[in-house]
Amino acid sequence: MAEALIENFDQLPQTTVRSVFELCEQALEDGSAEEQAAFSTGFLEALQHADGRLAFDFTELIGFLGAKSKAHCLSMDKFWKATTRGL
């Protein structure tokens, strides 16, 4: 999902991107453990790693992140001793 978002970000309507991040936030809030893992590790962290490789500018997403998503990303930066652009 992260790869598809990165590859198509410039062509996607903001409403679509917003819907993706609202779904992410909902999964982190009250999803099953599997859903939470898919969105936190499989999606958000993949986006952060792409930013770290300079394959994607994470600052483009900041306005779409909900509170739980942003908190997770900040925690991952702390864990990896990284700095994701925009956070």
Any residues with CB less than 8 A from the CB of 56 and at least 6 apart, and which?
A: 6, 9, 47, 50
The low-confidence residues of the chain, meaning pLDDT below 70, are: none
For 3-21, write each residue's pLDDT tens digit: 999 999 999 999 999 999 9
User: What pTM, to 2 d.p., does this model score?
Assistant: 0.95
pLDDT at 24: 98
